[in-house]
């Protein structure tokens, strides 16, 4: 088993997020994320026996995928509070920060899906798609850094600039965050592709 900085970051990210989700009481999100990780490991052990499985490092490199798919149980409780504004119920400050985590993770995943689609359909896809795959599945430290930047921008915008609760998001703010993350991801993928030669 390899103990790289990226692997340790992915394991710590997944464990910390699961603990945070569990302590906030979002048990459906928690169990869905764990079940997806186990399913990926079990399915992988049948497709690639001896190379992939629950006890192998591979499934742990994409915790953001499991957490995003599991967060559907978080977003089910969203409601429209005003025209163009969405909010979630949060009784604690920890729950508000968890909302920032869920929103930033969802925007990151949607952006990565668009970037991956564009990389695959590019005329020079052999150059860009491996770089996208490296970014998405092999470099979780990049994912964590970009997600942290997005969550910090959302926090500063909601709390400091707008002086509004963290549990409310406007459609414009979500789109601006999505666009920002997409541009950062494109830049990172171009940098990885250029480093490959």
Which three-class secondary structure state does DSSP give residue 177?
A: helix
Going by pLDDT thresholds of 50, 70 and 90, the confidence category of residue 86 is low
- Cβ neighbours for 16, distance < 8 A, ≥ 6 positions apart: none
For residue 43, the number of C-alpha atoms closer than 13 Å in the C-beta half-sphere is: 7
Kindly give, in sequence order, each residue whose CB lies less than 8 Å from that of residue 80, ignoring residues fewer than 6 positions away.
86
What is the pLDDT averaged over residues 40-65? Answer: 83
- According to DSSP, residue 48 is labeled S
Q: How many residues would you count in the chain?
A: 197
What value does the mean pLDDT take over residues 117-126? Answer: 87
Query: Which region, left, alpha or beta, applies to residue 144 given φ > 0 means left and ψ of -120 to 50 means alpha?
Result: alpha
Lowest mean pLDDT among 38-47, 85-94, 137-146: 85-94
Structural contact between residues 46 and 1, judged by C-beta atoms closer than 8 angstroms? no
Instruction: Compare 1 and 155 and report the one with higher pLDDT.
Output: 155
Lowest-pLDDT choice from 101-105, 120-124, 160-164: 160-164
Confidence band, pLDDT 50/70/90 cuts, at residue 80: low
Q: What is the pLDDT of residue 122?
A: 83
Q: State both tokens at 36.
A: 């997806």
pLDDT, residue 89, reads 62
Least confident of 34-38, 56-60, 85-89: 85-89
Question: What is the pLDDT at residue 186?
Answer: 93
Closest CA to 147 of 117, 180, 192: 180
Cβ-contact 121, 50 below 8 angstroms? no
**Ordered strands of the 85-87 beta sheet:** 79-82, 85-87, 168-170
For residue 41, what are the domain limits?
5-196
Q: What is the DSSP letter of 59?
A: G
User: What is the count of structural domains for the chain?
Assistant: 1
- Checking if the pLDDT of 46 tops 80, the result is yes
Distance between alpha carbon 41 and the CA centroid of its chain, in Å? 19
Convert the pLDDT of each residue in 131-187 to its tens digit: 998 898 888 888 999 999 999 999 998 888 878 777 778 888 889 999 999 999 999
């Amino acid at each position: 088993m390899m103990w790289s900085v990226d692997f340790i970051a992915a394991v710590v990210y997944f464990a910390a997020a699961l603990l945070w989700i569990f302590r906030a009481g979002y048990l459906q999100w928690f169990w869905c994320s764990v079940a997806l990780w186990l399913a990926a490991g079990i399915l992988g052990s049948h497709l690639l026996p001896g190379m992939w499985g629950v006890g192998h490092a591979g499934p742990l490199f994409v915790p953001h995928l499991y957490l995003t798919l599991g967060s559907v149980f978080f977003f089910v409780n969203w409601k429209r509070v005003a025209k163009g504004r969405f909010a979630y119920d949060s009784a604690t400050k920890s729950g508000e920060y968890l909302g920032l985590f869920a929103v930033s993770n969802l925007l990151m995943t949607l952006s990565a899906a668009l970037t991956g689609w564009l990389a695959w359909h590019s005329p020079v896809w052999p150059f860009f798609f491996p770089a996208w795959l490296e970014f998405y599945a092999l470099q979780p430290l990049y994912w964590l850094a970009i997600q942290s930047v997005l969550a910090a921008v959302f926090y500063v915008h909601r709390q400091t600039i707008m002086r509004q609760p963290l549990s409310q998001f406007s459609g414009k703010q979500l789109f601006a965050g999505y666009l920002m993350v997409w541009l950062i991801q494109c830049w990172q993928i171009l940098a990885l592709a250029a480093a490959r030669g």
